[in-house]
Amino acid sequence: MPTITPQRSPDSARRVAAKPADARPVPSKLRVRRAAASDLDDLVALEQCSFSSDRLSRAQYRRHLDSDSALVLVASSGDRHCLGNAVLFFRKGSAVARLYSLATQPMARGQGVGAALLEAVAAAARRRGSHALRLEVRTDNAAAIALYEREGFRRIGRYVRYYQDGADAWRYEKSLD
Ligand SMILES: CC(C)(COP(=O)(O)OP(=O)(O)OC[C@H]1O[C@@H](n2cnc3c(N)ncnc32)[C@H](O)[C@@H]1OP(=O)(O)O)[C@@H](O)C(=O)NCCC(=O)NCCS
């Protein structure tokens, strides 16, 4: 079985890429489902346009798709197969699931895709018996912080110089009870 690094290493960085201005409306019927091998191209492309460094590779995504301790979710609508994705990790014996990554296609941001993914992430973690969700986010990532706080995450700590470029991370947690 493939292994997953349960903790992002302290020197890894995922910097947020700039948001283009060509927003396109998301069709109303948004669906969140488990990602499949056929989503690999879309997942890698989304990773490329959402993060400027420390991207998950195609091989990592392939392993996560195949792993019991990871869950990759994709938001889709009609013929738009990958509007966003979330990567969730579980650890044996731990009641805390870790949201490792969340991203929405630049042209679909601000239309509820991230919130829908977070809702699905929480439901999936509950189904797996998790009692809490944790994540790290760059302290300068205002959009993600606003989304997490709106969705019930509370700040539980700070990792100083967590990212490669020296940026700090906030740690957030949401109770699933
Ligand atoms: C962070 C991210 C996933 C948000 O996804 P999204 O689909 O745009 O989020 P939603 O449309 O569901 O937004 C829901 C809430 O999040 C907050 N939010 C989202 N984008 C925001 C922005 N640019 N500025 C401020 N708040 C924002 C708001 O509270 C919003 O609620 P509102 O629309 O009622 O104001 C998206 O901006 C993204 O992919 N960024 C690049 C990758 C990234 O930084 N991922 C997080 C790594 S920890």
- Within a domain: 10: no
Pairing of strands 96-104, 31-34: unpaired
- Within a domain: 2: no
Which class for 114: exposed (0-12), middle (13-18), buried (19 or more C-beta within 10 A)?
buried
Q: How far is the CA of 92 from the centre of ligand 1 (A)?
A: 30
- Residue 135 has what pLDDT? 98
Q: How far is the CA of 138 from the centre of ligand 1 (A)?
A: 13
- Residue 114 has what pLDDT? 97
The residues lining ligand 1, judged by C-beta closer than 6 Å to any ligand atom, are 16, 50, 84, 102-104, 109-115, 137, 141-144, 146-147, 150
Enclosing domain of residue 122: 31-175
- Within a domain: 100: yes
Q: CA 111, CA 129: separation in Å to the nearest integer?
A: 30
Per-residue pLDDT of the chain in tens (177 residues, 90 and over written 9): 333 333 343 334 455 544 445 677 776 789 999 999 999 999 999 999 998 877 899 999 999 999 999 999 999 998 888 999 999 999 999 999 999 999 999 999 999 999 999 999 999 999 999 999 999 999 999 999 999 999 999 999 999 999 878 899 999 999 999
Atom index in ligand 1 nearest the CA of residue 99 equals: 48
Atom index in ligand 1 nearest the CA of residue 148 equals: 16
The reported pTM is 0.90
DSSP class of residue 16 equals: B
Protein residue whose Cα sits closest to atom 15 of ligand 1: 147
Q: How far is the CA of 148 from the centre of ligand 1 (A)?
A: 8
- Within a domain: 86: yes
8 Å CB contact between 121 and 90: no
Q: How far is the CA of 118 from the centre of ligand 1 (A)?
A: 11
- Within a domain: 84: yes
- Residue 44 has what pLDDT? 97
- Within a domain: 5: no
- Within a domain: 7: no
- CATH number for the domain harbouring residue 136: 3.40.630.30
8 Å CB contact between 26 and 111: yes
**Structural domain count, the chain:** 1
